[in-house]
């Protein structure tokens, strides 16, 4: 059963169609990633599905009772007019549970004052209902979610209206996770989250009980969370099964298959046209040729109007019958021109023609350090394990914001000196630097002037070069200060490609790039024949490029000599080992406790046995003393029967006393 179904959905602004003809469904267990280039309409589609915008055509149908939660990219206005603390805002979600909790406390007080079977039965029912609804765990859930999304305990009592935009977005995400809607729609949920919080969110969403629809540029996140991909592109809307990596493979196969199909159809059209041209003038075959011409016109017009998929669909014959060719008045020459004008309907994303080539081969050793301390005078940021980086390797430098990653790059560039230790660059290095903030770009230059300031070129070749980076037409005259983040990144890459560097220092190169541009950047860097030091939060890029990982943790740079996937596997293995060790420690503590408890019980039992034996000895001694006294009286009175009876009792008691004394001595 589907949580949500979309039928022929379209949205327009005036005469401009943002998207058209979208049909799809979200199953109950569907975890869907929505991908596509920037500006294609992904956020608009999410708003329509969340009920915040009305479609121009088509319909959205939801299963009865479906609750939707929607996280927009920036949630600045999400808590408008609210003055709760962060924690109170989360508590408000559980108002119903808190009312049940208050009722339970009231019943407890009433039972304490006047116990009755009716009150006890009422309390039992209310307690079961409270427990089943999660009443005994909601405070723990709030703590887990707030900690998981990076809220320190000191931030829980901040008023929601004074939070920054990023904090409000995280708070809205926390509230949605606690509300557990049937369909959770997330627009760039990893924005404003550090890597630790993103990993926590991945774990939460992997086991999410409802449906998910996620827009994200974080390909690693999509790989770990979703099981379907919806792709919005210039050529239409496509659905794929599997995570992001599976989507890439299926998309490539689909592109190749459709290209083969298109070429086969076009070849058939030309072959059919050749038959018509050879036979239409012959009396014997004219009627057959005319009939085939009419059919060919219909097929060509179907491809022109609806694309190759329509022609190859199961009801293509019916579609062809409905095509009106009475007004076409096409002749053979018209059909031939139309066939030659057909274009492959599969539109691939625009390609950045980015090529990074080295103009100088570096030495085998690119970088080596020892006893290195990085930072500023009076403010050290971190110390580093010994580093060795060789030609052709890619090192990924990862760590939280503010830990010193950019400072390390500036030290490698010679802009800062190490506070301690040695940093030895290799021979014949030509360094290229991609700055995260692109502060080296002159904001007052045009795109064209900025390029020419780095390399003198004729205007024609310069504009052709910029066109390879998607700066076409009037775009080259746009001032740098007016460029978007993605456009600045493309311009910085275009300039970097001119330098011919053999050692690239890349500071967040995939920031502001949509997924198609990220894919191109990755492909280019994978084929770069120099050495790379990559600072990035893009785990997918790191996973595909890095041959070693440098991680900043607790003011220490730790070197892992392997890929990112191997680092994650090693972490998981260590976590499992720690978990096992903790379990064994707990088991040992339990065993010691049980053993100690048993020893104490045995000691108490032995002490009691000693006391009992001692008490028995005293009792027998007292009895023996009484018998001795009674025997003396019987002897004085010459009571022969009494003497005989008491003498036997005295003897028996003496035997018992000796046995009791032995038992007491053994126990003691």
pLDDT tens sequence across 8-65: 999 998 888 899 989 999 999 899 999 988 888 999 999 999 999 999 999 999 999 9
Other C-beta atoms closer than 10 Å to the C-beta of 605 total 10
pLDDT digits (tens, 9 = 90+) for 362-402: 999 999 999 999 999 999 999 999 999 999 999 999 988 88
Q: Which residues pair with 229 in a beta bridge?
A: 33, 240
The rounded distance, in Å, linking the Cα atoms of 515 and 251 is: 14
Start-end of H helices in 191-315? 195-206, 219-225, 244-279, 286-306, 308-312
Report whether 76 contacts 160 (CB < 8 A). Answer: no
The confidence band for 452, taking pLDDT boundaries of 50, 70 and 90, is very high
3-state SS, residue 133? coil
Phi and psi torsions of 381, nearest 5°: -100, -45
The rounded distance, in Å, linking the Cα atoms of 230 and 5 is: 14
Report whether 441 contacts 450 (CB < 8 A). Answer: yes
Residue 245, Cα to own-chain centre: how many angstroms? 14
Torsion over CA of 175, 180, 185 and 187, rounded to 10 degrees? 30
3-state SS, residue 514? coil
Residue 625, Cα to own-chain centre: how many angstroms? 88
pLDDT of residue 540: 93
- Write out the DSSP string of 357-406: --SSPPPSEEEEEEEEEEEETTEEEEEE--EEEETT-EEEEE--TTSSHH
Other C-beta atoms closer than 10 Å to the C-beta of 562 total 13
pLDDT of residue 592: 67
Tell which wins on pLDDT, 324 or 629.
Answer: 629
pLDDT digits (tens, 9 = 90+) for 81-120: 778 899 999 999 999 999 998 888 888 888 877 778 888 8
The confidence band for 601, taking pLDDT boundaries of 50, 70 and 90, is low
Q: Burial of 607 by CB count in 10 Å (0-12 exposed, 13-18 middle, 19+ buried)?
A: exposed
Task: Scan for tokens 């000796």, then name that residue.
Answer: 658
* Average pLDDT of the residues of the chain: 86
Report whether 98 contacts 50 (CB < 8 A). Answer: no
> Tokens representing 494?
């275009």
Torsion over CA of 361, 362, 363 and 368, rounded to 10 degrees? -160
The confidence band for 336, taking pLDDT boundaries of 50, 70 and 90, is confident
> Is the pLDDT reported for residue 288 higher than 50?
yes
Q: Answer positive or negative: Cα dihedral of 432, 433, 438, 440.
A: negative
pLDDT of residue 284: 74
Residue 490, Cα to own-chain centre: how many angstroms? 26
The rounded distance, in Å, linking the Cα atoms of 203 and 225 is: 8
> Is the pLDDT reported for residue 325 higher than 60?
no
The rounded distance, in Å, linking the Cα atoms of 78 and 172 is: 7
pLDDT of residue 213: 97
The rounded distance, in Å, linking the Cα atoms of 397 and 546 is: 9
> Is the pLDDT reported for residue 327 higher than 50?
no
The rounded distance, in Å, linking the Cα atoms of 390 and 267 is: 52
Q: In what order do the strands lie in the sheet with 57-62?
A: 16-27, 2-13, 57-62
Burial track 90-105 (b if 16+ CB lie within 10 A, e otherwise): bbebbeebeebbeeee
Alpha-carbon distance values, 75 to 109, 169, 271, 607 (Å): 43, 5, 59, 71
The confidence band for 647, taking pLDDT boundaries of 50, 70 and 90, is confident
> Tokens representing 302?
């179907």
Phi and psi torsions of 551, nearest 5°: -115, 130
Q: What is the DSSP letter of 480?
A: G
Q: What is the pTM of this model?
A: 0.74
Phi and psi torsions of 167, nearest 5°: -65, -40
Residue 538, Cα to own-chain centre: how many angstroms? 11
In which region does residue 466 sit, left (phi positive, over 0), alpha (psi from -120 to 50) or beta (all else)?
A: alpha
Question: ∠ CA 47-52-56 to the nearest 5 degrees?
Answer: 75
Pick from 243-252, 344-353, 655-664: least confident: 344-353
Torsion over CA of 461, 464, 465 and 471, rounded to 10 degrees? 140
Q: Burial of 542 by CB count in 10 Å (0-12 exposed, 13-18 middle, 19+ buried)?
A: buried
Task: Scan for tokens 């990219």, then name that residue.
Answer: 73
The confidence band for 193, taking pLDDT boundaries of 50, 70 and 90, is confident
Q: Which residues pair with 17 in a beta bridge?
A: 12
- Write out the DSSP string of 369-382: EEEEEEEETTEEEE
3-state SS, residue 51? coil
> Is the pLDDT reported for residue 596 higher than 60?
yes
The rounded distance, in Å, linking the Cα atoms of 138 and 136 is: 6
Report whether 32 contacts 230 (CB < 8 A). Answer: yes
Report whether 546 contacts 396 (CB < 8 A). Answer: yes
């Amino acid at each position: 059963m589907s949580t949500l179904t979309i039928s022929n959905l379209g949205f327009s602004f005036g005469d401009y169609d943002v998207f058209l003809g979208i049909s799809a469904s979200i199953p109950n267990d569907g975890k869907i990633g929505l991908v596509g280039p920037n500006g294609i309409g992904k956020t608009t589609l999410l708003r329509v599905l969340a009920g915040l915008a009305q479609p121009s055509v088509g319909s959205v149908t939801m299963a009865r009772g479906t609750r939707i939660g929607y996280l927009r990219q920036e949630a600045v206005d999400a808590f408008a007019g609210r003055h709760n603390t962060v924690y109170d805002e989360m508590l408000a979600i559980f108002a119903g549970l808190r009312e049940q909790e208050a009722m339970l406390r009231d019943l407890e007080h009433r039972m304490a004052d006047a116990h009755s079977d009716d009150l006890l039965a009422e309390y039992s029912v209310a307690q079961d209902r409270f427990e089943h609804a999660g009443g005994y765990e909601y405070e723990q859930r709030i703590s887990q979610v707030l900690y998981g999304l990076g809220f320190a305990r000191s931030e829980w009592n901040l008023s929601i209206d004074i939070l920054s935009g990023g904090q409000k977005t995280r708070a809205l995400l926390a509230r949605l996770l606690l509300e557990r809607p049937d369909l959770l729609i997330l627009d760039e949920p990893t924005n404003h989250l550090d890597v630790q919080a993103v990993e926590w969110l991945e774990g939460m969403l992997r086991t999410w009980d409802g449906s998910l629809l996620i827009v994200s540029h974080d390909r690693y996140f999509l790989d770990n969370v979703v099981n379907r991909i919806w792709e919005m592109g210039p050529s239409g809307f496509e659905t794929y099964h599997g995570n992001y990596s599976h989507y890439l493979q299926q998309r490539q196969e689909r592109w190749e298959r459709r290209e083969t199909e298109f070429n086969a159809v076009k070849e058939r059209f030309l072959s059919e046209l050749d038959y018509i041209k050879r036979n239409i003038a012959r009396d014997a075959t004219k009627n057959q040729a005319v009939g085939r011409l009419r059919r060919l016109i219909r097929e060509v017009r179907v491809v022109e109007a609806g694309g190759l998929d329509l022609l190859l669909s199961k009801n293509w014959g019916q579609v062809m019958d409905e095509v009106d060719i009475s007004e076409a008045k096409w002749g053979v020459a018209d059909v031939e021109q139309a066939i030659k004008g057909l274009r492959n309907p599969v539109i691939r994303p625009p390609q950045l023609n980015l090529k990074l080539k080295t103009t100088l081969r570096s030495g085998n050793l690119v970088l080596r350090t020892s006893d290195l301390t990085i930072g500023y005078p009076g403010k050290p940021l971190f110390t580093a394990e010994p580093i060795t980086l060789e030609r052709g390797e890619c090192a990924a430098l990862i760590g939280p914001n503010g830990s010193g990653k950019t400072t390390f790059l500036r030290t490698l560039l010679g802009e800062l000196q190490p506070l301690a230790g040695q940093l030895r660059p290799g021979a014949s290095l030509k360094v290229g630097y991609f700055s995260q903030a692109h502060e080296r770009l002159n904001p007052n230059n045009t795109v064209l002037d900025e390029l020419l300031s780095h390399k003198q070129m004729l205007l024609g070749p310069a504009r052709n070069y910029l066109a390879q980076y998607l700066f076409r037409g009037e775009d080259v005259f746009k001032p740098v200060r007016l460029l978007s983040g993605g456009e600045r990144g493309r311009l910085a890459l275009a300039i970097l490609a001119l330098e011919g560097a053999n050692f690239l220092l890349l500071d967040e190169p995939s920031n502001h790039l949509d997924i198609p541009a990220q894919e191109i950047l990755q492909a280019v860097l994978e084929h770069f024949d120099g050495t790379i030091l990559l600072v990035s939060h893009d785990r997918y890029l790191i996973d595909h490029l890095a041959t070693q990982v440098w991680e900043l943790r607790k003011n220490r740079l730790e070197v892992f000599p392997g890929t990112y996937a191997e680092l994650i596997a090693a972490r998981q293995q260590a976590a499992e080992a720690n978990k096992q060790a903790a379990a064994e420690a707990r088991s040992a503590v339990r065993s010691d406790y049980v053993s100690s408890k048993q020893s104490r019980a045995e000691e108490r039992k032995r002490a009691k046995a000693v006391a009992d034996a001692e008490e028995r000895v005293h009792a027998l001694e007292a009895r023996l003393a009484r018998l001795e006294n009674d025997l003396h009286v019987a002897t004085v009175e010459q009571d022969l029967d009494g003497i005989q009876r008491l003498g036997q009792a005295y003897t028996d008691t003496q035997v018992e006393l000796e046995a009791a004394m032995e038992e007491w001595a053994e126990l003691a």
